[in-house]
Chain A
Amino acid sequence: EVQLLESGGGLVQPGGSLRLSCAASGFTFSSYAMSWVRQAPGKGLEWVSALSDDADSTYHADSVKGRFTISRDNSRNTLYLQMNTLRAEDTAVYFCAKAYSSGYVFFDSWGQGTLVTVSS
């Protein structure tokens, strides 16, 4: 059974940094592209960042480009999101999501999410 467990969320001041982790199990982590998707309170889903199976290519939404970095450690079956220069509008539940294949396709499994609150 595929399991994705996010951690690292919490309260951070504007301008601060936070690193999210997503521990994966139940599948061959190194064979799949992965993404982070967020959901602000009471709002819809917003794709944030994607990373290829071999970590050679990354993509970020314009809203986070230059501030967020997605990475992975295939030896630890873990996905990361380094978030810098955080803003109030980054407040959201952050989900990690597994792509159906090694390519950038739909997400067939999601974690339960971790809440990031940016506030002074």
Chain B
Amino acid sequence: DIQMTQSPSTLSASVGDRVTLTCRASQSISSWLAWYQQKPGRAPKLLIYKASRLESGVPSRFSGSGSGTEFTLTISSLQPDDFATYYCQQYDTYYTFGQGTKLEIK
């Protein structure tokens, strides 16, 4: 089974900061990686797919990069609405989610 590991587990940041979240796969998944944002009590929302493709309607301050086993999600300038939990997901072989990174206000 493919394992996904996200770091850090929690990230404290301020509005306007540039932040980078990391996701590592236990084996190569090419670019078959998605990123989701989830707020408390809500369903996850797709942000990025195929490692770097921005979902329609998602602000351009979100960007994804990486391939193989190392991936990042970058938010160029944090907005108040961005404080949430972020999950990566591989879809190379069935599906596996990372454990999540909680982005909190400093």
Binding site for B on A (CB under 8 A): 35, 37, 44-47, 50, 59, 61-62, 95, 100, 104-108, 110-113
A106 touches B44 (CB 8 A): no
User: Which B residues contact A (CB, under 8 angstroms)?
Assistant: 1, 32, 34, 36, 38, 42-46, 49-50, 55, 87, 89, 91, 94-100
Main secondary structure on B side of the interface with A:
loop
**What number of A-B contacts does a CB cutoff of 8 Å give?**
56
Distance, CA A100 to CA B55, complexed state (A): 11
Q: Which of A46, A95, A104, A105 contacts B43 (CB 8 A)?
A: A95
Given contacts A106-B34, A106-B89, A108-B55, contact A47 B43 (CB under 8 A): no
CB–CB A100/B49 < 8 A: yes
**Known contacts A107-B46, A110-B44, A111-B43; is A46 also within 8 Å of B89 by CB?**
no
Q: How far is the CA of A62 from the CA of B32 in the complex (A)?
A: 21
